[in-house]
Structure 1
Amino acid sequence: MGGNKPILTIIMRGTAVVSLLVAAIVMFVSYQKVEAESYIFEAKYNLWTGFMFYAIVSSIGCIYNFGILFIPSGSQLWKTIILLDVILNILVGATSLGAAWQTYFLVKDGNIYVGWAPLCGVVPHFCSKILASLITSTLGFSSTFALLMCTLHVGVDPFLADS
């Protein structure tokens, strides 16, 4: 199993690193302050727990995928990396992205049942940054998920061929 890593693996990990890094940075700097006649309204990512969780997990995903790029292809760590890829995809995809997208729609549309007004009309620049971050991170998640599916197919397929 020695040799170089396939170029597709490097491209997909690189895509994940760049997209998760951009998503985290955009989320961390998302801020808008609006001054109206009688009030000052500030919108920051850390005012919503879903956005904070998402920004932290995106950072972890970026660091993890960047570190994986430096592991040699013949290393015994690759068996553990498959498990870590599954855990990371669950964290990034199922929990972090799900919570962040739901929080974004709550901020964008409001909730008439509890009397929350939509905020994107008040802070459109903030909402644009959040949306860009979510789209970029979804691209990173898709890249890591496709890489995981390819890895599982290659790793599990030999076991299925003998049956």
Structure 2
Amino acid sequence: MPGFANALLIIAAAGLLAIRQTKPQLITAARRWWPLPVVLAYCGLRGSGRGSHLIDVHHRYESIALLSVELLVGVAMVAAAWACTSHIRTEPDGSVRSRETKATAVMRGAGIASRLGLVGMALLIGIHQGTGALLLALAASLLVGAGSLELRGGALRPAPVLTAAVR
């Protein structure tokens, strides 16, 4: 996938997430929270062979270190903060809902700013990574954040009521 298409994919995913998370979201056991991160990771890894390199071949070790730091920042600042600062509540009907708070938005902004800082630092050093690295970091943060939120919400779900069968 060309860099421009990856950039459009990143903007579309960020817009979708921003719209979906400004209102309370139902957390159910059947909720599918993993497809978007899987698609983003696939696009990031697939595009790495066509000019959108994950690793700069001229700065191999520095590029691997940068990608690792970017993944750690994405997981720690964005994903973990998202799951820890989101408000989760149980409704009277037993359903569990989550909603982002202002602290969540601040942490997301800090995570994005730190990633942009890492990319800027890499460019100053001379490391050239494609958008595949950004897609992979975004996928990792979404996967860990949504999974953590699902685990937190699952702890609040009421236990299923088991009834004995009458013969």
TM-score (norm: length of structure 1): 0.39
Q: Identify the structure with the greater helix proportion.
A: 1
